[in-house]
Amino acid sequence: MARKQVKSVAGKVVAITGGARGIGRCTAQALIRRGARVAIGDIHLDLAEQTAAELGGNCVAFQLDVTDRESFSRFLDDAANELGPIDVLINNAGIMPVGPFVEETDETAKTMIDINLHGVIFGTKLALERMLPRGSGHIVNIASQAGKAGLPGGATYCATKHAVVGLSEAVRLENIDKGIEVSCVMPAVVNTELGSGLTDTRGVKKLEPEEVAEAIVEAIETNRFDVWVPKSSAGISVILTLVPRSGREAIARFMKADKVLADVDEQQRAAYEDRAAKSTTEAAAGDQTATKG
């Protein structure tokens, strides 16, 4: 079987949203190690600047509110002015408040949709506007395995991630012959603040953000669209599609996948839930995680 051709990221300019912490930070670090130049955007400029300073001279930081199109456009322009034209955009920023759907406030739902979905839409459109005239570019959208299933306790979050998966598929097909690559990354539960206090599924270990970062870099290097983390999840997903719904739901219950977002340690999640709640006024964009369904 022929090996996929690997393209180097050395010298490439990469913009990452929600890049100050978690998966965003680890991805920036992995790219810089390979010689890329990275711009991280985050609502918390002080933390982004601290991260950039720690990652070294090939990293710059800018303020970014992904829910504001003008802010996003300014971020990409500032990054290009500082480092050069954007070769890769990684739409990573997102939040995940959890709890029973009927108890979720409308404001929480709106904020989640604004950050997790509208932010990706804004970023993807703005990146395409800059990449299409050059006939090259790569857009990486961080979705979730929650974008392939519906998990109790995270209904709106799952809805936003299903939307990101569908958006990525459509944008890829629209631009498949125009030199634009699109990747959709679908991790399981990740050991970040966003994943704190979540119930573990049987037989599936919690990922480290460095593992997801490596998968993102590999996707850029190989132009892979479907990026399951861990890779074994892809095969499991295919098998489950062949099983009737009653069987899939029984398997989910056995694996405790239906408990991942529904039965959480509220004390462990308190700090994150507080930060996510402040998103209504701060548009707080953090790292991405996902859940296995």
Per-run averaged pLDDT (10 residues), the chain, 293 residues? 74 97 97 98 96 94 97 98 98 93 95 97 98 98 92 94 98 97 93 66 75 97 94 71 72 67 71 67 43 32
pLDDT value at position 206? Answer: 77
- Listed in sequence order, the residues at least 6 apart from 21 whose beta carbon sits closer than 8 Å to its beta carbon are 42, 47, 51, 192, 193, 286, 287
Structural domain spans, the chain: 13-282
| Distance of alpha carbon 113 from alpha carbon 3, whole angstroms | 39
Neighbours of 253 (CB within 10 A): 11
pLDDT value at position 280? Answer: 44
- At 136 the three-state DSSP class reads coil
**Upper half-sphere CA count for residue 180 (Cβ side, 13 Å):** 25
pLDDT value at position 248? Answer: 67
Neighbours of 105 (CB within 10 A): 12
pTM (two decimals): 0.88
| Distance of alpha carbon 17 from alpha carbon 20, whole angstroms | 8
| Distance of alpha carbon 111 from alpha carbon 116, whole angstroms | 8
CA of 145: how far to CAs of 58, 97, 245, in Å? 32, 16, 17
Active-site entry in 72, 75, 157, 272: 157
272 counts as catalytic:
no
Select 13-282's CATH number: 3.30.70.20, 3.30.70.330, 3.40.50.720, 3.20.20.150.
3.40.50.720
- Listed in sequence order, the residues at least 6 apart from 292 whose beta carbon sits closer than 8 Å to its beta carbon are 145, 188, 189, 201, 204, 233, 255, 257, 260
> 13, 87 in Cβ contact below 8 A?
yes
Backbone angles phi, psi at 35, to 5 degrees: 95, 10
The position carrying tokens 């703005």 is 126
